[in-house]
Amino acid sequence: MATAVSKETEVLENAKSMFAADYTPSEKEDYMCEKHKAYFRMLLIEWKLSIRDAADQTLQSLADGPIREADLNDRASSETDWGIELRTRDRQRKLVSKIESALHRIDDGEYGYCEVTGDPIGLKRLMARPVATMTVEAQEAHERREKVSRDT
């Protein structure tokens, strides 16, 4: 795992070196040009590393020992907090796999394009949700179909 993190850190530094610190992808540039790909790669890797750091902190807290509150109410409250923390980490673990998938799509040249229609997803949507795989319209249609199938 240490080599994977060091490789990601190296890729992150390479991506950052491609543009100024205040760079933001622009509609004036060609869609998904090398600068866009480097920017989103940097964004995704930073996000993944921050999730891993938070997970490491949670693991360290768990390793420090069990909950030892004397009062039953305090202990119950602490256990509830831990349960919420672990569910959050589980959701973030799933998010890491989506981030990995987005990084693979960048490498394959498919990042930024809708998996349903093939249309550009759009820079604003990708900046809001870098792991997006569909345009807003395709996502809305997908959610409508899901809702209909749940309701029947």
Per-residue confidence at 2, pLDDT binned at 50, 70, 90?
low
CB 38 within 8 A of CB 18: yes
Average pLDDT value over all residues in the chain: 85
What mean pLDDT is predicted for residues 127-133? 95
Per-residue pLDDT tens digits for 7-48 = 666 766 766 666 667 788 899 999 999 999 999 999 999 999
Is the pLDDT score of 68 beyond 80? no
CATH number, domain 2-111: 1.20.120.910
Find all residues with CB under 8 Å of 49, minimum gap 6, and list them: 5, 8, 9, 12
Domain range annotation of the chain: 2-111
Please provide residue 75's backbone torsions phi and psi, each rounded to the nearest 5 degrees.
Answer: -65, -45
Continuous H helices in 18-71: 34-63
The predicted-structure confidence for 114-125, as pLDDT tens digits, reads as follows 999 999 999 999
Question: Does 65 score more than 80 pLDDT?
Answer: no
Q: Is the alpha carbon torsion for 91, 51, 105, 138 positive or negative?
A: positive
